[in-house]
Amino acid sequence: MVSYSVVIPVYNSTDSLLELSQSIDMVFRNSIKEEYEIIFVDDGSPNSETWPSLLHICEKYETVTAIQLMRNFGKPGATICGLKQAKGKYIFLMDDDLQHLPGDFPEFIKKNSHDVVIGYFPKKKHNFFKRQTSNLKGWFDKRLIGKPKNIKNSPFVLLQRNVVEAIINIKTTHPFISALIFNSTKDIVNVKLQHGKRKYGKSGYTLYKLLKQFSNLLINNSSFLLRIVAYTGFSFSLFSFLYGLFLIIKRILVGSANPGWTSIMVLLLFTSGLILLSVGIVGEYLIRIIHGIEQKPAFIIRKIV
């Protein structure tokens, strides 16, 4: 029986894949000594050498499974595909560029009594732009998807089986892995690791892909914008009603220098207040409809004794 699955989305990589497979195999044979599998998911790589490289690794290691997607769906979609194929009791998620080191697996396993263990890199070997976008994403993670304040996020993760089952049961066409994890459990811890240096090629994350991923976080995996619309609607409608009431009282007590002005203003404020209140209510309904479509579970059982 497979104890550990290692899910690795692949995009355009070739040289790093064999070295990564060898490192993983060595760690499991020499240190962990548990049954394992590696699942590579080729996310529609334009590089014609990527898939042959994966086939070569499959021939060399019987523990390796390679999956080729029909087109490029993005890293989150490829990750979900790998999670659905994984058979292990515990599942590692990692990148294919050797910046996540298989030698750190034992550090994760020391804390595998927790639902989720996330690798934390105090010093990331990324360029300035990548570091800043990562910091900005961390800020939004905390405010939009409920990331605990004391947790540092990264794609190098160990998940228990029950968390994986919860993640793959959420139906969304634009998954955001961190949001799915934080939606599933709060039993999350960090493990401090060293960030490896990229040995081959360049990062596949362009500005366009980063913005697209951020839009998935903001729109598909968060109700933030709808909440803003709803709260704005409720606030302005309340202000409109109160100000209209003020004008009516002022008209009764003081009078008005411009006949008809008070009635027009009250009518406008009352009408706009109703419109904004309706927008707020519609926003709340849309939030609940989205949650229903995604089929997020009402509860997730950790264990039954």
DSSP secondary structure string for all residues of 159-173? EEHHHHHHHHTS--S
Question: 233 and 214, same structural domain?
Answer: no
Domain around 60: 4-220
The verdict on 15 and 135 lying in the same domain is yes
Last residue of a domain, one of 194, 220, 246: 220
Q: According to the model, what pLDDT value does residue 305 have? A: 44
Residues whose CB falls within 8 Å of the CB of residue 7, separated by 6 or more in sequence, listed in order:
39, 41, 79, 82, 83, 86, 91, 92, 93, 94
* Single-letter amino acid code for the residue at 192: K
199 or 41, which is more confident: 41
More confident residue, 194 or 218: 194
pLDDT for res 265: 72
231 within some domain: yes
Domain boundary among 200, 220, 240: 220
Regarding whether 194 and 110 lie in a shared domain, the answer is yes
Q: Domain count of the chain?
A: 2
Same domain, 164 and 191: yes
Q: pLDDT tens, 155-205?
A: 999 999 999 999 998 877 778 888 889 888 999 999 998 876 766 666 555
At 24, which CATH number? 3.90.550.10
In a domain, 300, yes or no: no
Average pLDDT, the chain: 81
Distance CA 155, CA 253 (A): 65
Higher pLDDT, 16 or 301: 16
- Same domain membership, residue 160 and residue 110: yes
Strands 64-68 and 116-120: unpaired
Do 163 and 244 share a structural domain?
Answer: no
Q: Give the Å distances, CA to CA, from 63 to 10, 41, 58, 112, 214.
A: 17, 14, 8, 22, 34
Tell me, yes or no, whether 303 lies in a domain. no
Residue 302 domain-assigned? Answer: no
State whether 48 and 108 are in the same domain.
yes
- Do 61 and 105 lie in one domain? The reply is yes
The answer on 256 and 193 residing in a single domain is: no
On whether residue 305 sits in a domain, the answer given is no
Q: Clarify whether residues 238 and 179 are in a common domain.
A: no
Residues in the chain, total: 305
SS3 229: helix
Contact of 141 with 153, CB cutoff 8 Å = yes
Does residue 68 sit within a domain?
yes
Question: Is residue 155 classed as helix, strand or coil in its secondary structure?
Answer: coil
* Short-list 217, 108, 85, CA closest to 158: 108
Would you say residue 304 lies in a domain?
Answer: no
Q: Is 5 helix (H, G, I), strand (E, B) or coil?
A: strand
Q: Give pTM, 2 decimals.
A: 0.73
186 lies in the same domain as 256: no
What are the tens digits of pLDDT across the range 135-151? 666 666 666 666 777 88
**pLDDT per position as a tens digit, 247-271:** 778 777 776 656 666 677 767 777 7
Q: Same structural domain for residues 249 and 132?
A: no
Residue 299 domain flag: no
**Residue that is last in its domain, among 170, 202, 220:** 220
